[in-house]
Structures are given as structure tokens and as C-alpha cells.
Amino acid sequence: MDLTTLLKPAAVRVLGHATSKKRLFQDLAEIAHAVYGLNATETIDAVQERESLGPTGVGHGVALPHARLHGLDHVVGVFLRLEKPLDFDAVDRQPVDLIFALFAPKDSGVDHLKALALASRTLRDPGTCAKLRANSDPAALHAVLTEARSSQAA
């Protein structure tokens, strides 16, 4: 499993500003609908339900919201870079500007966890995060994300 299979280039975006976590989840759901055909309402509900179990802001400006959904046959992702960081109730209380959302089939089992670990490892690298924060072009962001893992795996 690698990020090129999880993340389509069209699912990488830069948002100027999200007014709230709820609005951010709506944006994620709209992108997931446009790129992967996911039901936006079900996606929002699933992400909010998962978030109610505990915030997915993992620290250092990174959040990894995720949910399991019906109608998927493999794990897919959406990546957002926010130009203005958002309060996300992260573990370190820092606002979030890099969001990698994952959506997995309801019965995905270990694949969901592997995808989450892959996204987490990628965004734990300070060099990768610095490149992501320095870029506003979605194609370049996709390249940074997909190249980061392949170069570390080699």
C-alpha cells in the first residue's frame, strides 16, 4: 500500500480558510463526493461520529480524520492544506493546517489501519510537512506526499 493508490491528485486541495471543524468536514465530504463518488451526508456523519470518540488532531498542525463507510471497495484519501490554521482540539492544542482524511470500507479490517499508519508516518516527517506548508499548488502537494513515502521506502 502506498499513497499513490490512496490519494488521487484531484483529492488534494488548498483551502483559504475553514471557519470551523464542522465546515471542514463538509468540505472533506464534498471533495470525497466529487472525486470518489461518496455520499456526502454519510461521509460527514461518519467523520463526526469518529471525531466524537476523540479528536484526530495528532499534533504539530496535523489532523488525520477517518471513517468507515458503506459503498467503498478500498481505502481512499483526501488531503487539505489550510492557508489559515484551524482550532481542531489537537493533542498539543496547536491549530491544524495539514489534514489527511481517510475513508475505508466498513469491513476493511487491517487495510484501514495500514492506511492510517502510512498517512501518519508521512506527516510525522518535519521535512515533508515543511514542503507541504511552503506549497500552494495541489499538483505539487500531491507530488510531495507521494514522493515522500516512496523515497523513505526505498
The domain limits of the chain are 3-153
Q: Which of 17, 33, 60, 66 is catalytic?
A: 66
DSSP run (H or E) holding 57 = strand 57-59
Q: What is the CATH number of domain 3-153?
A: 3.40.930.10
The residue type found at 34 is A
- pLDDT 10s digits, 21-77: 999 999 999 999 999 999 999 999 999 999 999 889 999 999 999 999 988 989 999
74 belongs to the catalytic site: no
Instruction: Record the cell numbers describing residue 125, joined without a space.
Output: 516527517
Residue 152 pLDDT level (bands cut at 50, 70, 90): very low
- Ranges of H-type helices in the chain: 3-6, 21-36, 40-53, 110-124, 126-133, 138-153
Instruction: Give dist(CA 70, CA 76) in Å, integer.
Output: 13
What share of the chain has pLDDT > 90, as a percent? Answer: 81
pLDDT of residue 1: 79
What pTM was estimated for this model as a whole? Answer: 0.93
Residue owning grid cell 456526502: 40
